[in-house]
Structure 1
């Protein structure tokens, strides 16, 4: 890195030149190595807008595009005093698919008002290029692979129903609820319990899951962190040892991925069908609380999730993702509409099976050229296989709802 007139970063990357060029122009590709949200119009004068979950964002426009050779754009970031220029050049080296990628970021001032920007820009491009090399060469996004774990399944406190929030009895309305603990991980060993609400890590406030995930990127696996959480109205502090992420290997071809997914689905369906054995319509329609789903409504949610997954697969393949801000949630009108169409448990299960079959088929029919986009393929494969856990979590929710229904009905008999 040179500091004379501009920040300059270079990295040797083995990847097809068209995919390196795409990494700086496609909104989907930019999300896979650099930022968390992006939208672009890759033509000279077209916009580029990038957002990071930690609170930083930058907007600008492309000033030069030479396909497979060079990209230039001007941008201005949050709280930055002025516009700066980014120039990217891609130079082929001797070996096939071996390229030198050079980023020059100029126009950054020298005064105190630029001090924070200089530090963030320097750190950001260095980490970004390291991740670009990983995503293009092996597909893995280091922001996920290297992010340490404390061993919880988190949930935004703001997403809870009024009833669920009242049951927690905490004096805050923002934070991260611990839905479940991973046995043997740091949170479990430190004494954190299911239902605790995390409000700070190393004295830095946490208002939701995005903030927690963004902050965890500042640590390495093995680091000890301090977590502040509420258990009802009592504030507690825990020292937690972090551990590395564990990722399953993604099968090399879409056909193999589809077969693995089909196997996981079969096991999950078997468990779900076991929970629903001999359930009555009254039991399946019973809601445990005023803001809680019945077994039927939870099945509707699983159907909707598969439909959203089909759209997500299509968007990632196309490189045009509509899902940016956050998940919109299952609104009541949509749940009622689906229940009107599929009114019985048998109807709902039949539609859920069809949706799962379509998910498997969507993966199986992916063009083999898609796997060349290693970052997209790894991300899609990881997301699809993780969706099985979503089914398992809601199977437990359905089981709890049916158990509560049977207890209430028996008590009233």
Structure 2
């Protein structure tokens, strides 16, 4: 016998925002799945993926803004395709949805699929209420914090660090005062096990923390060089990130921060010779100029992300720090002076881009929060690379016998 499951939810957000949450890849990734691929054209196919390996695909058969969305659904392990219909109605200044998942069978063949559908939509709609109210992903905000910065295992890194394996999560650093730092972990460590789960990549960390919350204590194993360490770590609670109140406030913050960063950069590179700026302190380490090229690339990448966010899809992959990001910039800006000038221009371009956003962008919390969080992390990232430049210059001085 074919049957349906019905769900409902109420939102402070209006129908337009709720409709967008079901039809925008970037917004779907904020409450339902971890990856969404499709274009918002009726009849086009979609692919939703989750980090736990589950996936669903289908076709948007009805896109009737802002009150009706219908799409087919074929999840992993489902005996047959089903249909999801979302009806959105205005309710006061907010809205309400009635979601019907149709075409579900019964019997043993459908048991796990029905359970997954019921659990998935109940959790998903709860996440959606939180997402539209705050602009934040409830799945992340309710997840405990480790306080780690992720590194890349590039060619030569494993050998340089003396690691016996490449399976795991390489740390580029830890956040002072949070769980990993308090447990004694540091940059260069390779985490291979968390809460009893073996790790091969960063994406597996989320599964290891399912059911855990801030304040819980878990076991963590990591390599520091060839030596395996096993310690206990207290998971930290996740604070809400600061979000500025308007587009103008965000632009002013970026303008002020850019001024601070350019001043710090000028002081850092004062009296640095062209030869030292271009030299690598070690074969696998970046020179000052390569760090500057990377920061230029980061500003441009961020501008592209903002462009994608405003258009509804920001999924531009950054797989690693391979040389393709540096070679065109180093060719275009052949010396340190040109690179510094180029970086300052890109910082200004980012400020101008944000300042030009429509003022009402701040009223759309999921969109504005996504942009704000990306922008607020730029300064920390730049200062990490400033420190790498200092270390590169110190290493070159040591190699030259200069104190």
TM-score (norm 2): 0.92
Q: For 1:217 and 1:370, how far apart are their aligned partners in 2?
A: 33
Given that residues 306 and 355 in structure 1 are in contact (C-alpha distance below 8 angstroms), is that contact kept between their aligned partners in structure 2?
yes
Q: Is the 8 A contact 2:14 2:90 kept in 1?
A: no
Task: Say whether the 8 Å CA contact 2:87–2:99 is kept in structure 1.
Answer: yes
How far, CA to CA, are the matches of 2:154 and 2:46 in structure 1?
Answer: 37
Measured at CA, do residues 113 and 281 of structure 1 come closer, stay the same or move farther in structure 2, by a change above 3 Å?
farther
Counterpart in 2 of 1:27? 25
The alignment status of 1:254 with 2:247, answered yes or no, reads yes
Contact 2:302/2:374 (8 A) holds in 1: no
Question: Contact 2:16/2:66 (CA < 8 Å) preserved in 1?
Answer: yes
Q: How many residues align?
A: 402
Match of residue 183, structure 1, among 168, 176, 179: 176
2:318 matched to 1:327?
yes
2:57 aligned residue: 59
Report the Cα distance in structure 2 between the residues aligned to 1:102 and 1:353, rounded to whole angstroms: 50
Partner of 1:120: 116
User: Which residue of structure 1 lines up, in the alignment, with residue 35 of structure 2?
Assistant: 37
Alignment of 1:9-20 (within 5 A): 9-20=7-18
2:304 maps to: 311
State the Cα deviation string for residues 285-325 of structure 1 (Å, max 9, x = none): 111222221110110000011011111111111224351xx
Whether 1:393 and 2:384 are equivalent positions in the alignment is: yes
Q: CA, structure 1 residues 286+218, in 2 after alignment: closer, same or farther (shift >3 Å)?
A: farther
The question of whether the paired residues in 1 share the 8 Å contact of 2:153 and 2:170 is answered with: no
Alpha-carbon shift at residue 209 of structure 1 (Å): 2.0
Secondary structure (helix, strand or coil) at the match of 1:252 reads coil
Query: Matched residues in 1 for 2:313 and 2:16: separation?
Result: 17
Partner secondary structure for residue 361 of structure 2:
helix
The equivalences for 1:172-321 within 5 A come to: 172-213=165-206, 215-216=208-209, 218-321=211-314
Partner of 2:44: 46
Is 1:25–1:40's contact at 8 Å kept on the other side of the alignment? Answer: no
Residues 208-267 of structure 1: per-residue CA shift (max 9 Å, x gap): 222224543542222222222223333332222111223432112111001112222222
Q: State yes or no: 1:342 paired with 2:333.
A: yes
Q: Which runs of 5+ in 2 are unaligned?
A: none
Q: Which residue of 2 aligns with 1:132?
A: 128
Q: String of CA shifts for 1:95-136, please: whole Å, max 9, x gaps.
A: 22x222122223344445544444433332222212211222
Please list the CA deviations of residues 63-121 of structure 1 after superposition, one character each: whole Å capped at 9, or x if unmatched.
3333222212111122333222212111333x22x222122223344445544444433
Q: Which residue of 2 aligns with 1:107?
A: 103
Deviation at 1:380, TM superposition (A): 0.7
**In structure 2, do the counterparts of structure 1 residues 121 and 172 end up closer, same or farther at CA, with 3 Å as the change threshold?**
farther
Instruction: Tell me, yes or no, if structure 1 residue 92 matches structure 2 residue 90.
Output: yes
1:205 Cα deviation from its structure 2 partner:
2.5
> Which residue of structure 1 aligns with residue 145 of structure 2?
149
Q: Structure 1: how far apart are the matches of 2:187 and 2:284? A: 20
C-alpha contact (below 8 Å) 2:5/2:101 kept by paired residues = yes
C-alpha spacing 1:333/1:167, structure 2 compared with 1 (3 Å): closer
Instruction: Give a deviation string over 1:134-173, Cα, whole Å, max 9, x none.
Output: 2222322223322211222122xxx323332113222221
With over 3 angstroms needed to count, the CA separation of the structure-2 counterparts of 1:233 and 1:115, relative to structure 1, is farther
Measured against aligned partners, the alpha-carbon deviations of 1:350-371 in whole angstroms (never above 9, x if no partner) come to 1100100011111111011322
In the other structure, the counterpart of 1:402 is 393
Unaligned ranges ≥5, structure 1: none
SS of residue matched to 2:272: coil
Kindly tell me: are residues 121 and 249 of structure 1, through their superposed partners in 2, closer, same or farther at Cα, counting changes over 3 Å? same
Partner SS state of residue 107, structure 1: strand
For the structure 1 residues 113 and 402, does the alpha-carbon distance in structure 2 shift closer, same or farther, using more than 3 Å as the test?
A: farther
